Amino acid sequence: MSTVPVNDNRLAVLDHSRLRAKAGKSGDERGRISVRDVDIVFDTASGPHVAVQNASLTVRPGEFVCLLGPSGCGKSTLMNAIAGFVAPTRGEVTVDGYAVTEPGPDRGMVFQQHSLFPWKSVKENVAFGPLMAGVGQNEANSVARTFLSLVGLAAFENAYPNTLSGGMQQRVGIARALANYPSVLLMDEPFGALDAQTRIMMQENLLDIWREFHNTVVFVTHDIDEAVFLSDRIVVMSASPGRIIADIDVDLPRPREQSLLTSPDFMALKRQCLDLIRKETLNAFQRQNKAG
């Protein structure tokens, strides 16, 4: 798996030991995200709509951070600002010191669903990023194969996405995002459309993959269990306007296993998040009632 022809350092495909060594060195770490005093305001028919208010957040290289909050609280919007799809109205977003102005292959995106190119085979989907980066077709194909084996879908390289289940499609989506060796992986409710069993499998899968790469992950979810199970840190957001209301360290041991879900530490963290979100939801209700 680690014997793919290389003529570009960026595509030093999955030499795991080297990647780990690299992640261990602090000098050339990549994937530091800094969000400073960011407001994001949308112009809507009914006037300006504040989707994100005064958000500040720093994510360290190699950290797995979940953005947690009720739907509509601005998680996707904040993530889109990091991805470069939405420009902050105020404040600044930088990745590795550079201001984010547009999307780029250094920030891989995984969407909730239906984001694979349906007219491209699974292999062509994953090879797309390397091709766009300017490597040859042969090399792009071998990178694609490597990443498909990483997500366990090597046998499906010639299948079209619409012949795969939702979970398999998401695995291809992850492989496609990783094939560019992004320093940051941005995932917007990537398992939100999957059934519970598949979701748990995918979470474990993702952690396995992340252990190999150890790149920075920002993972949006409204599922508290998912956030606690996956992350090093949970950033909790509240609704209307979207603000960051808590930043919780998740000091649970890794590798994480299913047994963790019933451990007292897990429960305590889950309760902490639940309380925060319930309080916010109640506040939101009261505000709505007063307004109404």
Ligand X SMILES: Nc1ncnc2c1ncn2[C@@H]1O[C@H](COP(=O)(O)OP(=O)(O)O)[C@@H](O)[C@H]1O
Residue of minimal Cβ distance to Mg ion: 76
Closest listed residue to residue 279, CA positions, set 247, 249, 248, 236: 236
Using CB under 6 A, pick the residue from 73, 148, 194, 224 that binds ligand X: 73
Residue 88 binding partner per list Mg ion, another protein, ligand X, none, with a CB distance cut-off of 5 to 8 Å that depends on partner kind:
none
**Least distance between ligand X and beta carbon 101 (Å):** 18
Query: CB burial class (10 A; 0-12, 13-18, 19+) of residue 30?
Result: middle
Using CB under 8 A, pick the residue from 53, 76, 77, 121 that binds another protein: 121
Count of CB atoms within 10 A of residue 260's CB? 15
Question: Residue 209 is encoded by which pair of tokens?
Answer: 């993959």
Question: Residue 136 is encoded by which pair of tokens?
Answer: 């040859």
Using CB under 5 A, pick the residue from 53, 76, 216, 221 that binds Mg ion: 76
Closest listed residue to residue 213, CA positions, set 8, 21, 1: 21
**Least distance between Mg ion and beta carbon 76 (Å):** 3
Minimum CB distance to Mg ion smaller for 73 or for 172: 73
**Least distance between ligand X and beta carbon 134 (Å):** 32
Binding mask 147-166 for another protein (x = CB under 8 A): -----------xxxxxxxxx
Contact flag: residue 194 with another protein (CB under 8 A): yes
**Least distance between Mg ion and beta carbon 50 (Å):** 16
Check: CB of residue 226 under 8 Å from CB of residue 200: no
Bridge partner list, 49: 42
39 membership: H or E segment, kind and range? strand 33-44
Using CB under 8 A, pick the residue from 27, 47, 97, 118 that binds another protein: 118
**Is omega for the bond preceding 241 within 30 degrees of 0, making it cis?**
yes
Closest listed residue to residue 35, CA positions, set 95, 75, 104: 95
Contact flag: residue 51 with ligand X (CB under 6 A): yes
Q: Which residue has the tokens 């780029």?
A: 104
Contact flag: residue 243 with ligand X (CB under 6 A): no
Contact flag: residue 208 with another protein (CB under 8 A): no
**Least distance between ligand X and beta carbon 109 (Å):** 14
Using CB under 8 A, pick the residue from 12, 111, 272, 284 that binds another protein: 111
Count of CB atoms within 10 A of residue 288's CB? 11
Minimum CB distance to another protein smaller for 76 or for 240: 76
Beta pairing class for 233-238 and 107-110: unpaired
Residues near ligand X (CB under 6 A) are 42, 44, 49, 51, 69, 71-77
